[in-house]
Structure 1
Amino acid sequence: MSLLTIRRALPAALAGVLCAPALHAQEPHRDSSAESPFFEELPTVLSASRLPQVLNEAPGAVTILDREFIRATGYRDVARILRLVPGMQVGQERGHSQWVTYHGLGSDYPTEIQVLIDGRSVYAPSSFGGVDWSALPLTVQEIERIEVVRGTNSNAYGANAFLGVINIITRHSHQDHGASGQINAGTQGIADAQASWTGGGDGLGVRLSAAQLLDNGFSGLNDSRRSQVISLRSDYRINAQDEITLRAGYTHATRALGYPDTLFGNNALRPTDTESATAHFTWRRTLNADEEWLVSFYRNHEASTDAWFASAPPLYPAVPLNRNRSSDRTNGEIQHRFALSPQARMVWGVEARRDETEASFLFGGQKPPVFDLYRAFSNLDWHLTPDWQLNLGGLLEKNGSLAAQFIPRAFVNWQASPRDTFRAGYARAWQQRNLFDLYGDVRAYDPKSGVLLSWPYVSNPNLRTPRVDTLEIGYLGRFPSLDATLDVRIFNERISDFVVRQTVPSPTGPLPLPLPSSQFVNVDFPVELRGIEYQLRTKPWTGGEVLFSHTLIDRRVKDRATAERTSPYSATLTWLQDYGNGWKSTASLLRMGPLAGGYGYVPGYDYVSRPYTTLDLRVARSFRMDGRLVEVALNGVNLGSSHQEISDRSEQFLHPDRPVNPTSSMVWLSVAVDL
C-alpha cells in the first residue's frame, strides 16, 4: 500500500466520520469475524486502550510477540526479543547493560516507553529512572505474550508512555500443571538454570518459578553477572464472577562494571549489587462479557549498592564516589469497563502512586522529595457504522508539584474491506522527568581536607516537562493467498522542551579537578521525527514463517548531537522453520544504523557507533524420553564480525580511534524438560 493511496483514502475517512452519527442510528454493529473466517485469526490486544480489542480495531500500531515465538528465539532476556519489533532501537554497552528505546532519543536510562508486567510499571522511581532489563522479576519462560504499542499511549497509561508501551503478560496459573526445567551452558561462561512448578485445584492455581543466569559478558570487559530471580503467580477463582491474583517476585544481581583507565577513575572497575522485590494484588469482577471491575494494588522495593574510589594522584589518591540508592513505590488503581450500547464501550479509572527515594550522594547529601502522582483516565470505543470506528481517550494527571496535565487521543479506524484496515489519529503526551534530572546534585570531596574537587552534576528544579504531539496514519492488511499480514505506521512525532545534558560553569568557580560541571536543560528548538515503519509476516511455504521489519526516520533536529541519538534506519529479518520430526530452526538478521545512545558521563563529548549487521541463530530438536518432552537446542547471538552498539563515552573519550566496548559472540547449548 503506497503513501499516495493512504493520502487519498484519508479525506474519505474524515468525511465518513462526519456523517457517521446518522448512519449509526440505522445500522447495527457488524461483527467482521462472522463475515470472514480469516479475521478469526486476529489476536485480541489489551494494552492499546485498556479495552480488549481485536488487533484491527486498536487505536494505533500494536506488535504482539506470543509465547511460541518467544520460545522459538531461544533468547535469554526480554530486551533481545524487543529488537525484532519495528521501530525499536536496542543496544548494549556491555553484556548485562541493555539500552531499550522506541525511535531512540533515550538518555543513559531511557524513560520514553512505559514498561509493564501484568499492568504493573517496572520503572525504577529511584534517581535515574529507566528499567533494569537484566533484573526483571520474572523469567522468560513464564511470559505468555508481549504487547508493544508503537506510538504515544499516555492517555491510557500516563506520562511514561511518552512514545509507547511494552506490556509483558505472564501465563495464567490455571493454564499448565506440572514441572519443567532448563539449563544453558556455553561460551563466555554461560551457565544458566531455570525451574518452574504449576499446580493447584478447587479454583486455585499456583506457579512458582526460579532462575539463575550466569555469564562473563563481552570479552575484554569487566562484565560478569550472576542474577537470581524467584517469582510467584497465584490465581484463585472465587466464583463465576470473581477472581483474585497475587504476583510476587524477588531478584538479586551481582554485576561487574567500569573500565581500568577512565578519567580520574570516574567509572572505575567495581562490583555492584542490585535487588528488587514486588508484590502485586488484583481483584477482577466480571459481571458479563461487556462489564468488568478491576482493583489493583502493588508495592515495589529496589536497592542498589554501587561504590568505588576515584583518584587524581598524587594529590588525591582515593576519592569516594557512589551511586547507592533505594526506592519504594506504592500504587493503587481502580478500573471499570462497560458497554454503553451494542456499538459503544467505555473504560474509566483512577490511580494514585507514591515514590520515596534514598540516594544521599546523588542528591547533595539530601533526601529528594517524595513524589506523589494521581491519574484519572477514560477511553471510548465507538463503532459509528459497521465500517467506521472512533477511539477517543483522555487522561488527567497530576505529577508532583507540576500543574495537572490533560492528555488526549483521537483515532478513527476504517474497515475498507474484511481484509484491509486504515487508521488515522492524533495524540499528545508529557514525559515525566525523573528525580535525578530535576534534583541531581553530585559533588566529589577530598576525604582528608573536605575540599570540593569536582561538581559533575548540578540540579535544575526548574526543568520544564517535555511534550510530544503525534500524528500518524496506518494500515493493517491481510492477504490469505500468501498467508501474510502487513502492518504499516507512518508517523510525525514533534517533541517540545526536549531535555539534554549540557556543560555549565561550576557554581563555585574553578575547581581543583578539570572536570566540567553539567546540568539537564530544555532545548529551545523542536525535536521532530518523521518516518515510516512496517512489518510483513508471512508463511510462504510449509512449516516456514518469515518476518521482515523496516524503519526509516527523518530526524528534523537543529542540533546534530541530539539527532544522532536516533538511528535513521533499522531492519530485521527472521526466518522460522519447522522441518518436522521435532526439528526447528530460527535465524534473525539484524541491521542497525549509526546511533549515539544516551549522553554518557563526559558532557560535550559526542560519539556515534557505526552501523552494524549481526546474526542470531537457533537449531532445536524436540523428542520424548520416558514420556517426558525434551528439547535440545544450540543457540547463538552476535554471530559474525564484532561490532559496537552503545559506546561508554567516558572510556571512548580516552580512545577515540577505536571502539572500546565491542560485543562478543555467545553460543550455548540448552536442554529443556517438561516433567
Structure 2
Amino acid sequence: MYLGPPPRSSLFLALLFSGPLFADDLFLDNQPLPQVLTATRLKQSAAAVPGSMTVIDSELIKASGARDIAELLRLVPGMMVGYTTGNQAAVNYHGTNASDARRMQVLIDGRSVYRAGLATVDWSDIPVAMEDIERIEVFRGPNTVSYGANALMAVVNILTRSPANSQGTRIKVTRGERGINDYYASQGIGWETGDLRLSVSGQQDDGFDSNALGTDRRDSRRLNRFSLAVSQTLNQQQSIDWQFSAKEGSNQRPYTYKPVFSGITEGGTNSDVTAKDYAGSLRWNFDFSPEHSLYIQGSAQQWDRRQLWKACDAKVSFSPELTQLWQLNSNYAEQLSRHMEAYSQDAAPPGSAAEQALATQVLEQWKSGGKDSVCGTIDQSTRESRYDLELQDTLSLTDSLRLVSGMNYRYDRADSDTYFNGTLDDNTWRLFGHLEWRANEHWLLQGGAMFENTHLSGNSLTPRIAVNYLINPRHGLRAVYSEAIRSPDMFENNVNWSYRVTNLDSPAYGQNSGQYFVKTRGPGDLDQELMRSRELGYNGFFTDIGLNVDVKLFYDEVTEMISEPLRNNQYIASNTNRSRFTGIETQLDWRVSAADRLRLTYAYVDASATNPLDQQQTARNSGSAGWLREWGQGWSSALFYYGNDALNQYRFERVDMRVAKRIALGKANLELAGMLQQRLDNQPTTWADNNYDHRHVLYFSAELEF
C-alpha cells in the first residue's frame, strides 16, 4: 500500500495564517502549554524546542495494546522498527545497517541503557514494565549536545510514573495466541513526606513460527522483572528519588554455527541466552528558588548474559600450526581450511615460504586424523557494568535568559573471554551546556555544546545552534544546525574475538580443551562517526480545535561511518563509509471531541549510502494512523494502522484493534480488553527467517485496580 506523497506545505500555511490564530486569547489564556524535557534538559513547549519531538503519552500506550517498547516506537515518524528474531527488535531512526541501536541513545528516566561493550540495546530485556511508563519522549534528530556520544540520530527517553501517581493496587494478566502469557502487579503507598511504588511483571511468548525453510523458528522468550521506586521530601528545598530494578529471563537463539571444514556434522542443540540485569539510581534534588535548581544523580547497572552451546568441527581446527598460519595471513588460512580435502591430494596453495611451510604441516595433520570430528562446549557469556555520576544546574539568569549546564563521569566495563579475551574498560568525562535567549516575544535563540573525553576514543566537541520564530506561544517555526558524533564501541574498535572450546569429546593434540584457530582483532584506531544535520520545521497547537501539528524538513549527512557487520573472521572495520538522509516528516494529533482522538504520522526518507547495506534498513515511505474512541458506559476502542513500503526489501502493513470495557466494582475498577493484530501483507518481517503461520494474533487482558 502506497502511503502517499509528502504533505503539501500550502495546507499548513493556510492553517498558520488563518484569522483565529492571532486572537489575543491565544497569548493571554491560562491553559498551560504542554512541555517536554528531553530535547535540551530544559522544560520547553513543543514550539520552542530546537528540533523535532514525538511524545507517546499514557493514553496512547494503553490504547495501542503494545506489549513492547519497540512496538510503541512505530508511532514515531521516521522510526524503522524491525526484528532480527522474535525476541530481538532492531530499532533505528531513519535506518543504517546496524541491526542494533548503535546510533541512538535510549534512556530510562535519564539513565542510559545503551550497552557500550557490545553496541546494542536489548529492547525486549529493558527492565521496565509497560504499565509503569508514564510517557516516552523521542527527540528525532542528533542530540550529542545534551546526551553525549551515541545520541547520533535520535534519543528515546522512557519516563516512568512517579510513585505519587501510582497509589493503590493494580493487577493485570494477559493471555493469547503465539504463547503470549504476561502478568503485572503493583502496589503504591504514601506517607507524609514520601511515596513508594513496588511492581513485579513478566512476559512470555513463542516468537516467530517458522524460518525461510519452513522449520520451527527458535526465538521464544521468558522474563520476570522487579521494580522499586521511592520519592522522599527532605525539606522545602530538597528531595531524593531512588530506584532499583532487576530482570531475569531467557531468550532462545537459533543455532547458526556452521563448521568450517567440510564433512563435519553441526552437532549443536541450542545457543540460548540466560539474562540477568540489575540497575539502581539515586538522585538528590535541590530547588533553591523558582529560578535555580540543581541535582546530583548516581547510578549503577549490570548486564549479565550467559550463553553456552555445543559445536563440532574437525580436530585440525585446534592445530597450533593452523592458528599461527591464521595470525600470519588470515585469508591464506581460510582458503586452505575451506578446501583442505582438495589441497591434501596435491600441495599447499601458493604463498610465502613461511605460509607454505605451516600449510604443509597442517595438511599432514589433516591426513593423519585431523579430519575427524570433535565436539565441545563454547562459552560466549558476557558481563557489562556501568557506573555513572552526573551533576546538572538549571538557572534562569533573567526573565529572558536560561542556562542549563553540568558534568558527567561514566565508567564502562565489559567482561568476556570470547569477545575481549578477558576484560576491557573505558572512562568518559563530559561537560555540557545549553543557553536559551528570548530576544523578544517572537524570536528565540538557542545554542549548546558538549565536550567529551573518552579514554578509548579521544576528545570531541559537538555544537548546536537553533533559531525559533514564535508566531505566538503555541506556534513556532524553527531552523536548526547541529553536529553529533558516535564513538566506536568497545566491540568495534577493540574486539579480541576467539573461541575456547572445553570438554572436548576426544583429545585434540594432547588437550581436552583447545583454542579455535580463527581470531578476530579490532583495528584499535577507528575514528568517531560524525553527523551534520540541517532542519527546518514548524510546530503548532490549535487550541480551538484541539489539533497539534509538527512538520520537519531534514538534510542529514553521516561521515566516517563504521558499517561492517560484527562477525568473526569477516570483520574488517573502517571509517570509509558515509550516508545521506533527506526528506520530510509530519505528525498530527487531533482531539476531535471529548470522545474522539485522531493521530497520523508520515515520513518520506530518501537515503543514499556508499555501503548498500546502509540503505536496506530504510523505508522510503512509512507511517501510522490511529483513532481512539470513548463510546460511553465504560466502552472504548482504538484502531491503528502501521506501514512501510520496504524495510530490508520486505513490506510491512498491519492493523491493530483494541476493544475494552471498564466495570466499576464498588471502590475497585476492572477493565477487560481484547486485542487483534492483522497483517495486511504476506511477507516475512524484516528477514526471510521471520515468519508467522497465521497473519493474525489475538490476545486478551484483565486489569483490576483498587
- Normalised by the size of structure 1, how large is the TM-score? 0.86
Residue 274 of structure 1 deviates from its aligned partner by 0.6
For 2:659, which of 619, 634, 651 is the aligned residue?
619
Describe the SS at the equivalent of 1:521: coil
For 2:435, which of 376, 380, 384 is the aligned residue?
380
* CA–CA distance in structure 2, aligned partners of residues 502 and 674 of structure 1: 47
Residue 210 of structure 1 deviates from its aligned partner by 0.3
* CA–CA distance in structure 1, aligned partners of residues 269 and 588 of structure 2: 45
Match runs of 1:43-62 below 5 Å: 43-62=34-53
Matched residue type, 1:54? S
Could you say which residue in structure 1 is the equivalent of 2:552?
A: 489
* CA–CA distance in structure 2, aligned partners of residues 6 and 462 of structure 1: 48
**Deviation digits for residues 401-427 of structure 1 (CA, Å, limit 9, x no counterpart):** 433211100011101245531000111
**Deviation digits for residues 441-469 of structure 1 (CA, Å, limit 9, x no counterpart):** 32346752477655374312111110001
Could you say which residue in structure 2 is the equivalent of 1:21?
A: none
Match runs of 1:401-550 below 5 Å: 401-417=456-472, 419-444=474-499, 448-449=508-509, 455=518, 457-480=520-543, 482-501=545-564, 517-523=570-576, 525-540=577-592, 543-550=595-602
The 1:177/1:452 distance shift into structure 2, 3 A limit, reads: closer
**Deviation digits for residues 34-61 of structure 1 (CA, Å, limit 9, x no counterpart):** 7254x83531111111111112111111
Describe the SS at the equivalent of 2:252: strand
Matched residue type, 2:590? T
Matched residue type, 2:671? E
For 1:574, which of 604, 626, 641 is the aligned residue?
626
Q: Which is further off, 260-269 or 234-243?
A: 260-269
User: Is it true that 1:124 corresponds to 2:115 in the alignment?
Assistant: yes
User: Is it true that 1:338 corresponds to 2:378 in the alignment?
Assistant: no
* CA–CA distance in structure 1, aligned partners of residues 403 and 454 of structure 2: 25
Describe the SS at the equivalent of 1:593: strand
Describe the SS at the equivalent of 1:520: coil
Check whether the contact 1:639–1:666 (CA below 8 A) recurs between aligned residues: no
Check whether the contact 1:392–1:410 (CA below 8 A) recurs between aligned residues: yes
User: Is it true that 1:227 corresponds to 2:259 in the alignment?
Assistant: no
Could you say which residue in structure 1 is the equivalent of 2:411?
A: 354
Could you say which residue in structure 1 is the equivalent of 2:650?
A: 610
* CA–CA distance in structure 2, aligned partners of residues 294 and 638 of structure 1: 46
Please report the RMSD computed on the Cα atoms of aligned residues, expressed in angstroms: 2.6
The 1:181/1:3 distance shift into structure 2, 3 A limit, reads: same
Q: Which is further off, 527-536 or 556-565?
A: 556-565
Could you say which residue in structure 2 is the equivalent of 1:249?
A: 245
Could you say which residue in structure 1 is the equivalent of 2:320?
A: none
For 1:367, which of 408, 412, 423 is the aligned residue?
423
Check whether the contact 1:109–1:128 (CA below 8 A) recurs between aligned residues: no
For 1:134, which of 121, 124, 129 is the aligned residue?
124
The 1:97/1:140 distance shift into structure 2, 3 A limit, reads: same
Check whether the contact 2:141–2:154 (CA below 8 A) recurs between aligned residues: yes
Could you say which residue in structure 2 is the equivalent of 1:26?
A: none
For 2:372, which of 306, 311, 315 is the aligned residue?
315
**Deviation digits for residues 226-269 of structure 1 (CA, Å, limit 9, x no counterpart):** 10000010000111211101111000111211147867659963
Describe the SS at the equivalent of 2:127: coil
**Deviation digits for residues 186-243 of structure 1 (CA, Å, limit 9, x no counterpart):** 1111111110000020111110010011222221311221100000100001112111
Match runs of 1:189-268 below 5 Å: 189-219=179-209, 220-259=216-255
Describe the SS at the equivalent of 2:164: coil
The 1:34/1:575 distance shift into structure 2, 3 A limit, reads: closer
The 1:646/1:527 distance shift into structure 2, 3 A limit, reads: same
Q: Percent identity?
A: 25
Counting matched residue pairs gives 615
Check whether the contact 1:262–1:268 (CA below 8 A) recurs between aligned residues: no
Check whether the contact 2:118–2:491 (CA below 8 A) recurs between aligned residues: yes
Could you say which residue in structure 2 is the equivalent of 1:271?
A: 272
For 1:400, which of 434, 445, 455 is the aligned residue?
455
The 1:637/1:261 distance shift into structure 2, 3 A limit, reads: farther
The 1:119/1:261 distance shift into structure 2, 3 A limit, reads: closer
Residue 618 of structure 1 deviates from its aligned partner by 0.9
Check whether the contact 1:304–1:325 (CA below 8 A) recurs between aligned residues: yes
Matched residue type, 1:83? R
Describe the SS at the equivalent of 1:180: strand
Matched residue type, 1:486? V
**Deviation digits for residues 57-110 of structure 1 (CA, Å, limit 9, x no counterpart):** 111111111112211112111111111111111112222111111111151322
Unmatched segments (≥5 aa) in structure 2 = 1-6, 14-23, 210-215, 261-265, 315-370
User: Is it true that 1:661 corresponds to 2:661 in the alignment?
Assistant: no
Residue 526 of structure 1 deviates from its aligned partner by 3.0
Matched residue type, 1:644? P
Could you say which residue in structure 2 is the equivalent of 1:560?
A: 612
Residue 661 of structure 1 deviates from its aligned partner by 1.8
The 1:455/1:40 distance shift into structure 2, 3 A limit, reads: farther
Point out the structure with max Rg over C-alpha.
2
Describe the SS at the equivalent of 1:353: strand
The 1:33/1:49 distance shift into structure 2, 3 A limit, reads: farther
Check whether the contact 1:87–1:551 (CA below 8 A) recurs between aligned residues: yes
Could you say which residue in structure 2 is the equivalent of 1:71?
A: 62
* CA–CA distance in structure 2, aligned partners of residues 136 and 557 of structure 1: 31
Residue 620 of structure 1 deviates from its aligned partner by 0.7
The 1:592/1:310 distance shift into structure 2, 3 A limit, reads: farther
The 1:321/1:191 distance shift into structure 2, 3 A limit, reads: same
Describe the SS at the equivalent of 1:223: coil
Matched residue type, 1:388? W
Could you say which residue in structure 2 is the equivalent of 1:674?
A: 705
Could you say which residue in structure 2 is the equivalent of 1:112?
A: 103
* CA–CA distance in structure 2, aligned partners of residues 359 and 82 of structure 1: 32
Residue 528 of structure 1 deviates from its aligned partner by 0.9
Describe the SS at the equivalent of 1:519: coil
Check whether the contact 2:101–2:121 (CA below 8 A) recurs between aligned residues: yes
Could you say which residue in structure 2 is the equivalent of 1:285?
A: 286
Match runs of 1:593-608 below 5 Å: 593-596=645-648
* CA–CA distance in structure 1, aligned partners of residues 524 and 307 of structure 2: 25
- Normalised by the size of structure 2, how large is the TM-score? 0.82
Residue 559 of structure 1 deviates from its aligned partner by 3.3
* CA–CA distance in structure 1, aligned partners of residues 64 and 566 of structure 2: 43
Could you say which residue in structure 1 is the equivalent of 2:668?
A: 628
* CA–CA distance in structure 2, aligned partners of residues 502 and 355 of structure 1: 23
Matched residue type, 2:430? R
**Deviation digits for residues 154-203 of structure 1 (CA, Å, limit 9, x no counterpart):** 10110121111111111111123211110011111111111000002011
The 1:6/1:468 distance shift into structure 2, 3 A limit, reads: farther
User: Is it true that 1:587 corresponds to 2:639 in the alignment?
Assistant: yes
